[in-house]
A and B are shown apart, each in its own frame.
Chain A
Amino acid sequence: MNKFLDLIDPLLILSAAVMGVALYLVFIWVPTETNQGAVQRILYFHVPLAWGSMLGIFIVSGSSFMYLLKNNEKWDRLAVASAEIGVIFGGLMLLSGMIWARPVWAVWWTGEAKLTTALILFFVYVAYLMFRGYFPPGAQRQRLAAIIGVIGAVDTPIIYFAANLWSQAHPPIVTGPAASAESTLGSDLGTVLLASTIAFTFLFIYLVQTRYKIRKSEDDIIELKRASSASAMRGVN
């Protein structure tokens, strides 16, 4: 029971409540789209997951920049926490897109611009985390990782505008400033998409917050071990 209670957090409760409302809207309230059928409802997962993966790289980039500027560990912790959650969101974005594409496009994957740039974003996350995993710990690792994080964000606007810049198979932009009048969703579909995006945003924040706390605990342990061995050395001398 305690193990379960450890996971309970006000943000998690809020996230679960909003997610419950979003799921009701997705599966019961919104009508089935006539052309694609039930599979169109994947959009209500796919778009918020894509938003989460882009939000993640923005936070990685912003906090990496702040780390380079201030040299404060908290920014590095925030960057690595966002990268880890971002890679999950990015992976699920690609997977949900592939599963949607199979019945609608009759292929799992095609090398068109939006898909390719989204895959690059996923690889940026993986490269960032792999670099941190394999490079020896220390300030140099954090600085170099921060540089990768800052550079990685360049891909985000390209993904967003890809469907407009290179008109290919991917549906046009349906939300945000670049959405054209023809491609904007109807009011029902737009409401559900908004609710789902808010729910996934809360989930994203909760996960980043939890991962940040874990990273802080890991740093505390390293510090305690260092202090412990320093005092042991003093005892020997």
Chain B
Amino acid sequence: MILTLAISVSLPQISSAEQTPPVNGIVVGVETDDAGVLTRFAVSDSTGTIHTFTIFNGTEYGLENQAGDRWVSTQESEPSESARRLRDHRERFAPITVTSENGTAFSVVEREQGRLETNLGYLFAVFAVTWALFFAYVLYLGRKQRVLQHEIYRLKSASHK
């Protein structure tokens, strides 16, 4: 009876927690307290949306430095190292993946998977601008060449008269 009551009380609490899909992106902000311990950080995803995360003692990290060495730890074990690592990622534009619930980060790791479907617009923009400019320029050159040829013909005709 006590066990059933305990489950019925605790289950709604778990299910009410907002299950957020992992966020992939670039670190754009790192906030620390006076002791240099990480308190919050912000990530911008591939659509440009900023996600802000708070951390807790159990937040897990798996972040690589520029040489590829992976640092694996928790907030509780190395409270000030996480801020330094995230700042390093921010400076290098190295992407990370954050799993969270209700804005609290549970794990912060090197990016695991990009959001493939969201950035086609950028590819289209490059493609469209590149070819529009080249076509316009080729047409401009052709038109200019015709005008100049006509002018040469006119001058040559005038000189022969």
Query: Contact at A214–B125, with CB atoms within 8 Å?
Result: no
Query: Contact at A32–B141, with CB atoms within 8 Å?
Result: no
B135-157 residues with Cβ-Cβ distance < 8 A to A are 137-139, 141-146, 148-149, 151-152, 155-156
Number of A residues, CB within 8 Å of B: 47
**Which chain A residue shows the least CB distance to B66?**
A167
**Chain A residues in 8 Å Cβ range of B137:** 88, 207
Query: Contact at B114–A3, with CB atoms within 8 Å?
Result: no
A102-134 residues with Cβ-Cβ distance < 8 A to B are 102-107, 110
Of the stretches A72-80, A153-161, A187-195, A222-230, the one at the interface is: A222-230
Question: What is the total of A-B residue contacts with beta carbons within 8 Å?
Answer: 126
1/0 per residue, CB under 8 A from A, across B92-112: the answer is 110100000000000000010
Q: Show the binding face of A for B, using Cβ within 8 Å.
A: 3, 6-7, 12, 32, 34-39, 41-42, 45-46, 49, 88, 92, 95-96, 99-100, 102-107, 110, 167-169, 203, 207, 210-211, 213-214, 217-218, 220-221, 224-225, 227-228, 231
Query: Contact at B117–A218, with CB atoms within 8 Å?
Result: no
Partner of A99, one of B118, B126, B142: B126
Can you show 23 pairs from A to B with CB atoms below 8 A apart? A7-B138, A12-B138, A35-B111, A35-B113, A37-B119, A38-B119, A39-B46, A39-B120, A39-B122, A45-B127, A95-B129, A102-B122, A103-B46, A103-B122, A104-B26, A105-B93, A106-B25, A107-B93, A207-B141, A210-B141, A213-B145, A221-B148, A224-B156
Query: Contact at A34–B114, with CB atoms within 8 Å?
Result: yes
- Min Cβ gap B140→A in Å is 10
Query: Contact at A221–B155, with CB atoms within 8 Å?
Result: yes
Query: Contact at A38–B125, with CB atoms within 8 Å?
Result: no
Partner of B114, one of A12, A37, A169: A37
Query: Contact at B117–A37, with CB atoms within 8 Å?
Result: yes
Q: Show the binding face of B for A, using Cβ within 8 Å.
A: 25-26, 28, 44-48, 66, 91-93, 95, 111, 113-120, 122-123, 125-127, 129-130, 133-134, 137-139, 141-146, 148-149, 151-152, 155-156, 158-159
Complex Cα distance, B95 from A36, in Å, reads: 10
**Which chain B residue shows the least CB distance to A5?**
B142
Query: Contact at A88–B138, with CB atoms within 8 Å?
Result: no
B contact face: mostly helix, strand, loop, or mixed: helix
Query: Contact at A42–B145, with CB atoms within 8 Å?
Result: no
Complex Cα distance, B93 from A35, in Å, reads: 14
Query: Contact at A39–B145, with CB atoms within 8 Å?
Result: no
Query: Contact at A106–B28, with CB atoms within 8 Å?
Result: yes
Query: Contact at B111–A106, with CB atoms within 8 Å?
Result: no
Interface centre among B139, B142, B156 (most CB of A within 10 A): B142
**Which chain A residue shows the least CB distance to B112?**
A35
**Chain A residues in 8 Å Cβ range of B145:** 6, 210, 213-214, 217
- Min Cβ gap B90→A in Å is 10
Complex Cα distance, B118 from A39, in Å, reads: 9
**Chain B residues in 8 Å Cβ range of A7:** 138-139, 141-142
Query: Contact at B142–A6, with CB atoms within 8 Å?
Result: yes
**Chain A residues in 8 Å Cβ range of B44:** 106
- Min Cβ gap B43→A in Å is 8
A38/B144 contact (C-beta < 8 A), A7-B138, A103-B118, A220-B152 known = no
Query: Contact at B123–A41, with CB atoms within 8 Å?
Result: yes
Complex Cα distance, B44 from A104, in Å, reads: 10
